[in-house]
Amino acid sequence: MGIKRAVLTAVVALSTSGFMAQAETLADAMAGAYGHSGLIDQNRALLRAADEDVAQATAALRPILNWTAGVANNFTIDPSNSSTTSANVGLDLSWVLIDNGSRKLNKARLEQTVLATRQGLVSVEQRVLLSAVQAFMNVRRDARIVSLRQNNLRVITRELRAAEDRFEVGEVTRTDVALAQARLAGARAELAVAQGNLMASQASYEAAVGRKPHALSQPTRLPRAARSLDAAQAIAVRTHPDMIAAQFRVAAADIGANAADTALRPDVNLNVGLTQSHTFDTDANSLGGRVSITTGGPIYQGGRIASLSRQAIARRDAEKASLHATRHNIRLAVGNAWSQLLAARAQREASRRQIEAAQVAFDGVREEASLGSRTTLDVLNAEQELLDAKANEITAQSAEFTAAYSLLSSMGLLTVDNLNLAVEKYDPEAYYNQVKNAPAMKSKQGQQLDKILRRIENQ
**% of the chain at pLDDT higher than 70:** 91
Q: Are 136 and 26 in contact (CB under 8 A)?
A: yes
Among the ranges given (120-129, 287-296, 370-379), the one the predictor scored with the smallest mean pLDDT: 370-379
Residue 35's contacts (CB-CB under 8 Å, 6 or more residues apart) are 210, 423, 424
Q: Are 14 and 142 in contact (CB under 8 A)?
A: no
HEC string of 80-110?
Answer: CCCEEEEEEEEEEEEEEEECCCHHHHHHHHH
pLDDT, tens digit, 9 for 90 and up, residues 283-332: 888 999 999 999 998 888 888 889 989 999 999 999 999 999 999 999 99
- Residue 1 — very low, low, confident or very high, per pLDDT cuts 50/70/90? very low
Which pLDDT value is given to residue 415?
Answer: 94
Per DSSP, helices labelled H in 169-240 are 174-209, 229-239
pLDDT of 172 higher than 90? no
Give the burial class of 330: count Cβ atoms within 10 A of its Cβ; 0-12 exposed, 13-18 middle, 19 or more buried. buried
- Residue 450 — very low, low, confident or very high, per pLDDT cuts 50/70/90? low
Cα dist from 198 to 136, 143, 189, 329, whole Å: 11, 6, 14, 33
Three-state DSSP at 414 gives: coil
Instruction: Show me where the domains of the chain are located.
Output: 2-426
d(C-alpha 232, C-alpha 250), whole Å: 24
d(C-alpha 270, C-alpha 335), whole Å: 60
Q: Are 152 and 180 in contact (CB under 8 A)?
A: no
d(C-alpha 243, C-alpha 42), whole Å: 21
Domain 2-426 in CATH 2.40.33.20 = no
Q: Hey, which bits of 280-400 come out as E strands?
A: 284-296
Three-state DSSP at 297 gives: coil
Q: Are 458 and 41 in contact (CB under 8 A)?
A: no
Q: Are 374 and 365 in contact (CB under 8 A)?
A: yes
Residue 342's contacts (CB-CB under 8 Å, 6 or more residues apart) are none
Q: Mean pLDDT, the chain, as a whole number?
A: 87
pLDDT, tens digit, 9 for 90 and up, residues 378-427: 878 888 888 889 999 999 999 999 999 999 999 999 999 999 999 988 88
